[in-house]
Amino acid sequence: MGLDTFIRRFADCRILVVGDVMLDEFVWGTVDRVSPEAPVQVVLVNSNTRTLGGAGNVVNNLAALGAEVFAVSLVGDDQAGRDVASLLQGLGATVEGILIDPARPTTTKTRVMAAGQQVVRIDREKVLPLSPEFEDKLAAHAEKCLQSCDAVLLSDYGKGILTPSFISRLLRACATAKKPVVADPKGLDFSRYKGATVLTPNLKEAAKACSMEIRSQQDLEKAGARLLHELSLACLVITCGPDGMALFFPNRPSLRIKARARQVFDVSGAGDTVMAVLGLGLASGADFEQAALVANEAAGVVVGKVGTATVSAEELLEALTSSADSVSRKFRSPKGLAEDLQGQRARGRKIVLARGCFDLLHSGHVGFLAQARKLGDMLVVALEDDASVARLKGPGRPILKQNDRLRVVSALDSVDFVTVFNGDFVDLLKALKPHVLACGREDAEGDYKKIVESHGGRTQKIAVDQALSSAGIIEGIKNSAN
The residues annotated as belonging to the active site are 272
Count CB neighbours of 195 within 10 A: 18
Interatomic CA distance for residues 303 and 239, integer angstroms: 13
What is the identity of the amino acid at 89?
Q
Distance of CA 27 to the CA centre of its chain: 20
Interatomic CA distance for residues 69 and 222, integer angstroms: 36
Interatomic CA distance for residues 462 and 472, integer angstroms: 20
Which DSSP symbol is given to 253? E
Count CB neighbours of 445 within 10 A: 11
For 83-103, the three-class secondary structure string (H helix, E strand, C coil) is HHHHHHHHCCCEEEEEEECCC
User: CA dist 6 to 152, 274, 290, 312, 370, Å?
Assistant: 18, 15, 9, 14, 38
Is the distance from CB of 197 to CB of 275 less than 8 angstroms? no
Is the distance from CB of 30 to CB of 297 less than 8 angstroms? no
Secondary structure of residue 32 in the 3-state scheme: strand
- Which of 112-145 are b and which e, b meaning 16 or more Cβ less than 10 Å from the residue's Cβ? bbbebeebeeeebbeeeebeeebbebbbebbbeb
Interatomic CA distance for residues 369 and 434, integer angstroms: 15
Nearest Cα to Cα of residue 151 among 169, 185, 178: 178
